[in-house]
Amino acid sequence: MNMLVDGEWRTDAYETAGDDGSFDRQEAPFRDQVRDDPDATYQPEAGRYHLYVSYACPWAHRTIIARALLGLEDAISVSVVDPYRGDDGWQFTPGKDGCTRDHVHDVDYLRELYVKADPNATCRVTVPVLWDTERETIVNNESKEIMRMFDTEFGDYATHDVDLYPEGYRDEIDRILDAIYEPINNGVYRAGFATEQAPYDAAIDDLFEALEHWDDVLAAQRYLAGDRPTEADIAMFTTLVRFDNVYHTHFMCNVQYIREYEHLWPYLRDLYQTGVADRTEHLGDSNVEERPASEATRETGIGETVHMDHIKEHYYTTHPEVTPHGIIARGPDLAFDAPHGRDELPGDPPSALVGASSDE
């Protein structure tokens, strides 16, 4: 792994494994907050903040989904890096399908923005990044916190009536986010980047014990926190949607496919098919009558944020210590759009969201 050391790019500085061969993830270094408070340094404003993402990265994918479901596309602009991350780190290749240039500074590499924010930065260069165009700096590069800020601080600029961190659910959402992080979200990396058998085995045991647990939970309820989708489901989704195509093979998480779980697989399809309904009143037009839920269709959805081509290219070409030849595995071709039957369980998406019917 490469990183910045005192503002200089180093290709020999960051080791992913600890002394015992276990994966060691560095904490995100930029942790400022956008707050809807007149005294806050970073206040929510339309057009002020810019989001840097990779479609391949599950952490960045969280923020992409939240931005789309909340309807913040016009308020928060975005730039997309190349899925391949070489010796120079994340790069901008606007001529490549799905990638963009850096719309703010037009630099070639994401690391240049880290140095703009902190000329003496010592850290890994990761996505997502929330950039403040007014103060010319990075606000935050921790995915869970960016997702939370989008949901709780940008309400005045959201065009969809969606709440992913609702009152009455917040303690449970926070508990679940903590519960799934180490064994599942980070667990696939703990397995894939382990360099000794013992830490790999421990990661695999934790991962599949946790997957079995949540498969059991989802037998009786539609979503992780109960009867509505929340931030916790987004955090679970971005790992599960990559699992069979990447983690099962590339990271040796091959005890079981997600598509072999009785409840996790329909749950994943349910989320994939969930999106914002085309009810015009949610865009602020009070003169248009709301369509009945039975007639609503998705205007944009979680599935549209999944770029499997970027995901597979990134993992199979970027980690030579895991797959040294850069050959991209061909399969599997999963039917994410197949009926899921989850709408038979108690609970529904919020009124602004709609999912596919189980009898489609």
Q: Which residues contact 243 (CB under 8 A, 6 or more apart)?
A: 188, 253, 257, 258
124 marked as part of a ligand binding site: yes
Q: Is the dihedral of CA 153, 156, 160, 162 positive or negative?
A: positive
142 marked as part of a ligand binding site: yes
Q: How distant, in Å, are the alpha carbons of 158, 163, 287, 291 from that of 282?
A: 10, 13, 11, 11
Task: Please tell me the distance from the alpha carbon of residue 301 to that of residue 242, in angstroms, as a whole number.
Answer: 17
Phi/psi at 359 (nearest 5 deg)? -105, 20
Q: Which residues contact 115 (CB under 8 A, 6 or more apart)?
A: 4, 7, 121
Q: How distant, in Å, are the alpha carbons of 46, 103, 154, 191, 277 from that of 157?
A: 7, 21, 6, 40, 18
259 marked as part of a ligand binding site: no
Q: Which residues contact 308 (CB under 8 A, 6 or more apart)?
A: 245
Coil/strand/helix, residue 268: helix
6 CB-side CA count, 13 A: 0
Task: Please tell me the distance from the alpha carbon of residue 209 to that of residue 161, in angstroms, as a whole number.
Answer: 36
Annotated catalytic sites, by residue? 57, 189
Coil/strand/helix, residue 224: coil
196 CB-side CA count, 13 A: 10
344 marked as part of a ligand binding site: no
- Give the CA angle between residues 141, 142, 144 to the nearest 5°: 140
265 marked as part of a ligand binding site: no
Question: Around Cβ 260, how many Cβ atoms within 10 Å?
Answer: 10
**Quick one: 262 exposed, middle or buried, by C-beta within 10 A (0-12, 13-18, 19+)?**
exposed
Q: Is the dihedral of CA 304, 306, 310, 312 positive or negative?
A: negative
Question: Which among 245, 243, 233, 254 is positioned nearest to 62, based on CA atoms?
Answer: 233
Q: Could you tell me which residues are annotated as the binding site?
A: 90, 124-127, 142-143
Q: Could you tell me which residues are annotated as the binding site for glutathione?
A: 90, 124-127, 142-143
